[in-house]
């Protein structure tokens, strides 16, 4: 899965997708196509969320002017200050989902 330069979810997606792919292969023995379709169906909503960038974030992240750079530096200082750290942590959470990971079939069968 390709994450945007500002996404920050690459490691989370890599770990999650490895687990989900293994679970789907185990759940669809001998049917690779069904396993891959189930994998895609489970992963796509999560990936879409990670790949989405709010409008204007590219201009903020990569300023083209000295004024833009100064504003970004100020915002960086504010967002990493002690009073705003909890809010920043919540706003920058990536690859978060309430969904349960798919279960592996009982291997003892």
Helix H, strand E, coil C: the string for 37-70 is HHHHHHHHHHHHHHHCCCCCHHHHHCCCCHHHHH
pLDDT in tens, 18-65: 999 999 999 999 999 999 999 999 999 888 877 777 777 777 888 899
pLDDT in tens, 53-100: 777 777 788 889 999 999 999 988 988 899 988 887 777 666 666 778
**0.85 surpassed by pTM:** no
Residue 95 near residue 16 (C-beta atoms within 8 A): yes
Query: How far is 55 from 38, CA to CA, in rounded Å?
Result: 31
Could you tell me the sign of the dihedral formed by the alpha carbons of 24, 30, 36, 38, in that order? negative
Residue 26 near residue 103 (C-beta atoms within 8 A): no
**Structure confidence at residue 109 as a pLDDT band (50, 70, 90):** low
CA distances from residue 53 to 3, 7, 46 in whole angstroms, order as listed:
10, 8, 14
């Amino acid at each position: 899965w390709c994450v945007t330069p500002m996404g920050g979810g690459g490691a989370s997606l890599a770990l999650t997708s490895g687990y989900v792919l293994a679970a789907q292969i185990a759940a669809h023995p001998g049917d690779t196509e069904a396993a891959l379709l189930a994998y895609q169906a489970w992963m796509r909503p999560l990936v879409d969320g990670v790949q989405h960038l709010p409008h204007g974030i590219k201009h903020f992240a990569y300023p083209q002017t000295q004024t833009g750079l100064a504003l970004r530096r100020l915002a960086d200082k504010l967002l990493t200050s002690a009073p705003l750290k909890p809010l920043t942590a919540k706003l920058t959470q990536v690859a978060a989902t309430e969904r349960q990971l798919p279960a592996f079939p009982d291997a003892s069968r």
